[in-house]
Amino acid sequence: MKKRESLDPKDIRVFSGSSHPALAAGIADYLGVPLEKTCVRRFSNDNLYVQLGASVRARAVFIVQSLSIPASDHLLELLMMLDIARGAGAREVHAIIPYFSYARSDKKDAPRISITGRLIADLLETAGATHVMTMALHSPQVHGFFSLPTDPLTARALFVRYFHKKLRRRAKTETIVVAPDSGRLKSAVRFAASLGLPAIAGEKRRLSDKEVKIDKLVGKQVRGFKRAVIYDDEIATGGSVIALSRLLIHNGVTDIAVVCTHGVFTGQAIERIKAIPQITEIVTTDTVPVPPEKRLPHMKILSVAPVFGEAIRRNYLRKSIGDLFSFWQE
């Protein structure tokens, strides 16, 4: 195995917000640098107090914070940490946001609402970020909201390696990859092509934040396939997964694997998924921390720490990270 070029631990500072210190520790461990301390507490009036625990002057600073629940609190904390690093004289300030939840607010689809994804992209730059890394944005156009260098990474290689080990030659002829809607089809096609599988999409209508309807499948017929792999960017309420699973089962699928980058699993999502016995596997990543009570026996959580760690390493060494991009066409 080729040895990775080491980084200068005196020139790099890695800090974690309170959203996901375990992932930040994994990234720091991959880079071979310490995870520095961060002090976060609240005043009696509920105002946040944040202090970075090591000098950042003239150094490259990487701040890891997922916008997981409570997303707005974690966002404010991140903005404060960016502002602290800039004000303390950091040479570079990198916002590492594994889960950019506000990417779902990417268009004005109702009167008098905010395109919040764009607003937050502006706030990150105003707060002091010189560069952003994130993963699996909800739609490609969100990348265009950022006017500072931004790298949208993908966990696809992790999923491909995992399923390569599980799929035998015969199983491939019985397996199809299914995207919940046409918006996720391109990503699903890339994933499927890496495994030598066909891919189709559902025709989804969102009725509310918690309810969706998928009436039919678009593309290759699903009949004749025993196993389906539902491939999505995020599972929150589980509405899309439930609706699509029922349609697949109606069409003769008996074994379903669910794959998503961001396993948010809000509300009764886990219970709803657990109630469908044909869903035999859930594969997600740790962009969002999954608490023990939400970890089902057939759930596999893959760490994205090596993906972010490698992207940070290459960025620091001024090397290309193109093959780690979310919309890269292999």
Please give the positions annotated as active site: 204
- Please, which residues bridge with residue 283 across strands? 259, 300
Q: What is the DSSP string of 49-91?
A: EEEESS--TTSEEEEE----SSHHHHHHHHHHHHHHHHHTT-S
**Given its phi and psi angles, is residue 131 left (phi above 0), alpha (psi -120 to 50 degrees) or beta?**
beta
Across the chain, where does the E strand assignment appear? 12-16, 35-36, 38-42, 48-52, 60-64, 92-97, 131-135, 150-153, 175-179, 199-206, 212-218, 227-235, 255-263, 279-285, 299-302
Kindly state the greatest CA–CA separation across the chain: 63
Residue with the two structure tokens 């008098």? 112
Q: Is the dihedral of CA 26, 161, 152, 302 positive or negative?
A: negative
* Spatial distance between the Cα atoms of 316 and 314, rounded to a whole number of angstroms: 5
